[in-house]
Amino acid sequence: MNMVDVILKKKAGGTLSPEEIRAFARGAADGSVPDYQLAALLMAICWRGMTPEETACLTMEMMHSGSVVDLSAIDGVCVDKHSTGGVGDTTTLVLVPLAAACGAKVAKLSGRGLGHTGGTLDKLESIPGCSVNVSIEDFIRQVQKIGCAVIGQTQDLCPADKALYALRDVTGTVDCIPLIASSIVSKKLASGAGAIVLDVKTGSGALMQTVEQSIELAKAMVEIGAQAGKPILALVTGMDQPLGTHVGNALEVKEAIDILAGRAAGDLLTVSLELGSRMLIASGIARDVEDGKARMMQALTSGAGLAKLKEMIVAQGGDGRVCDDVDYLPHAAYKISVPAPASGYVARMDTAAIGRCAQALGAGRQKKTDVIDPAVGLVMDVRLGDEVKAGDSLATLYLNRCELANGAVESMQRAITIAKEKPELPPLIHAAVSREGVTR
């Protein structure tokens, strides 16, 4: 296969054949196609797009570029959930134990924080002793025994995506719907789940900033599922402010525990119930969305969800006492308030900037090799639409390095817009996308 011809064809707006797409994905995985040709083809795809058939073909080729996890030893349908990434987005730690307590089998391979967004693995590792490096055999045994496990991706999962994603990151080719859709779905399919519920974020903290683009991305992923014969459905949910109030690893674990213990609620719980309910439907446990939400709430109020989280933490080597007393989680040395610079209404948040602020305090990595501080981050003291007086606390910073305080206070003040007029609030659940269509 002459890769230059493939690049020229896509550059001219042509449709690539399955053989051409295979050569591209294999060449990325085994290094036989040089980075400059991969990058040129990625840019041509960004400009010319891909048909649904090309996108599905690229997805399957990336999925088969490495090993595919076989979950057939687990009884029943394994369901998975994936978020396109957000800030204060801890739905996994809330809904996985609730869905498992309702009888679902959740075998989840998660990722680490990326840019301004947090990652479930980093959050789990903030629990003393908790390991996310579990062999696939132990992973399957754990799901079979207690109904859930959340671990890191194996080294050889989707090597084509690893190579292409690293190139996209440095060639301005991340924000392209067929490339995002194939990247996400290839990893989910390779993780072996029988059904997948996607949480496509939209707004100032999301990969896709407009609702229309987010719906397009959701449709592209649902369509790949249809072509691959895997049920995939997606919710498009708001990321116009951090979803939970807590941003940072141990802080987000604390919020998830507080919710499962019935001490906290809010948008994080609402989105977790919506997603979890769809997982119960896909598992054949719930009849419809209302039934699913009622079952999830029953697992919450009975304490079964919190007990399940504790079981999962203990199974992965962690200190289960964090579920009884959050003081067993790591603590930051200092707490500093971010005062509102003026009186008015909280009108807008630059959610990505809030995520970057937590990252700068040490909750995320700026470079791959950076070590995360599990204790640091921030807690939002306001939501969009709240009325504040000058000097009221907008957020509380949790930090271990005092010298970072002034810069962080200033970036938080810049990230939160206070206006005279009460703003109109964006919806939390924008749309549900399935094979049947888009429901708003």
Question: Dihedral of the CA atoms 279, 283, 288, 290 (nearest 10)?
Answer: -50
The one among 132, 158, 180, 409 contacting ligand URA by CB under 6 A: 180
Q: Tell me the C-alpha distance between 87 and 332, whole Å.
A: 19
Least distance (Å) from Ca ion to the CB of residue 82?
A: 6
Is 246 a known active-site residue?
no
- If one asks whether residue 183 binds ligand URA (CB under 6 A), the answer comes out as yes
Query: Which of 82, 108, 112, 295 does the annotation list as catalytic?
Result: 82
Q: How many residues belong to the site for ligand URA (CB under 6 A)? A: 7
- Dihedrals phi, psi of 389, to nearest 5 degrees: -105, 150
Contact 200, 163 (CB under 8 A): no
| Per-residue mark of binding to ligand URA, 305-334 (x: CB under 6 A) | ------------------------------
Residue with tokens 């999830």: 296
H-helix or E-strand spanning residue 16: none
Is 295 a known active-site residue?
no
Query: Which of 116, 168, 188, 295 does the annotation list as catalytic?
Result: 168
Least distance (Å) from ligand URA to the CB of residue 83?
A: 9
Which of 124/179 has CB closer to ligand URA? 179
DSSP-assigned letters across all residues of 176-245:
-HHHHHHHHHHHHHHTT-SEEEEEEEESTTSSB-SHHHHHHHHHHHHHHHHHHT--EEEEEEE-SS-SSS
Which of 190/340 has CB closer to ligand URA? 190
The one among 23, 62, 184, 380 contacting ligand URA by CB under 6 A: 184
Residue whose C-beta lies closest to Ca ion:
111
Least distance (Å) from ligand URA to the CB of residue 84?
A: 6
- If one asks whether residue 163 binds ligand URA (CB under 6 A), the answer comes out as no
* Cβ neighbours for 318, distance < 8 A, ≥ 6 positions apart: 124, 127, 128, 129, 130, 131
Query: Which of 187, 201, 278, 293 does the annotation list as catalytic?
Result: 187
Q: Tell me the C-alpha distance between 273 and 91, whole Å.
A: 9
Least distance (Å) from ligand URA to the CB of residue 166?
A: 11
* Cβ neighbours for 311, distance < 8 A, ≥ 6 positions apart: 146, 320
Is 80 a known active-site residue?
no
For the record, the structure tokens of 173 come out as 């080719």
- What burial class does residue 424 get, using C-beta atoms within 10 Å of its C-beta: 0-12 exposed, 13-18 middle, 19+ buried? exposed
DSSP state of 428: S
Which of 84/272 has CB closer to ligand URA? 84
- If one asks whether residue 354 binds ligand URA (CB under 6 A), the answer comes out as no
Is 141 a known active-site residue?
no
Q: Tell me the C-alpha distance between 414 and 420, whole Å.
A: 16
For the record, the structure tokens of 30 come out as 């085994």
Q: Choosing among ligand URA, Ca ion, none, which partner's interface includes residue 180 (Cβ < 5 to 8 Å by kind)?
A: ligand URA
Which of 111/115 has CB closer to Ca ion? 111
Choose the binding region for ligand URA from 123-131, 180-188, 258-266, 391-399 (rule: CB under 6 A).
Answer: 180-188
Choose the binding region for ligand URA from 49-57, 178-186, 197-205, 268-276 (rule: CB under 6 A).
Answer: 178-186
DSSP-assigned letters across all residues of 23-51:
HHHHHHHHS-S-HHHHHHHHHHHHHH---
Which of 119/276 has CB closer to ligand URA? 119
Residues making contact with ligand URA (CB under 6 A) = 84, 165, 179-180, 183-184, 207
